[in-house]
Amino acid sequence: MKFGVVVFPGSNCDHDAYHVVSKSVGQPVDFIWHKETDLSSFDAVIVPGGFSYGDYLRAGALARFSPVMASLKDFAAKGKFVLGICNGFQILCEAGLLPGALRRNAGLHFICKHVNLRVETSNSPFTSGLEPGTVLSMPIAHAEGNFTCDDATYSSLEENGQIIFRYSDEHGNVVETANPNGSRGNIAGISNLDRNVLGMMPHPERACDDLLGSSDGCDIFRSLTQAIEKVQ
């Protein structure tokens, strides 16, 4: 089993993701410079948070054209696992690997705080070890996390169970007051139709040690590890 962490110019959560995979989950992991195109040695690739290309044009808009992205599309089409976190989620949407777009937060502020997420389904390689309704605590840190899509896309996300996480209160109630950024339907994370690609704005890699206030993020990496073991 091998994880990869893509590094774009401006990525800044790449080392956190690497640390969590190697230390908290205890699996082999390598960095992947964005100009590389051979992903054949990896089972799962993490597209980390940060400010790829300085967020110029739109968050994720320019990273989408990096050489590694064409390979990542093929990688995902083969059913391999892709996890986009924060800027990684923005990049996956811009690249068309996930539907929708991430707009400026409704309140305009950059928000950095712990939030609660309700797990909407365990029918995902990233949440297979979690009961639906479980509430996870982890931080968000973004200015463009306001998930937007048209009505048809939203309906299909709901019908196909592609909404994996919603912002909720600590009891798991999905309420407007728990929505930090104006995201449609309190969406915090979605998957593609084949369920092997997940994008999420909150940072599970920053919540893998009780010393950091929460270790709930580890559940996502553990589920993913089990999913990889299953297909091997």
Handedness of CA 121, 126, 131, 133 (dihedral sign): negative
Q: Is 86 a catalytic residue?
A: yes
Least distance (Å) between residue 99 CB and another protein: 8
Element (H, E) at 190: strand 187-191
Sheet harboring 163-168: ordered strands across? 29-33, 3-7, 44-47, 81-85, 197-200, 187-191, 163-168, 111-119, 135-142
Tell me the per-residue interface mask from 90 to 129 with another protein, x by CB under 8 A, - otherwise: ---xx----xxx-xxxxxx---------------------
If one asks whether residue 186 binds another protein (CB under 8 A), the answer comes out as: no
Q: Is 142 among the residues known to form the active site?
A: no
50-68: burial string, b at 16+ Cβ within 10 Å, e else: bbbbebeebbbbbbbebeb
Examine residue 84 and tell whether it contacts another protein (CB under 8 A): no
Active site residue 159: no
Q: Which two tokens stand for residue 169?
A: 């209160």
**Contact between 150 and another protein (CB under 8 A)?**
yes
Catalytic entry in 34, 205, 208, 218: 205
Among 22, 71, 148, 215, binds another protein (CB under 8 A): 148
Binding site for another protein (CB under 8 A): 57-58, 61, 65, 93-94, 99-101, 103-108, 146, 148-150, 182
Q: Would you name the residues annotated as active-site residues?
A: 86, 203, 205
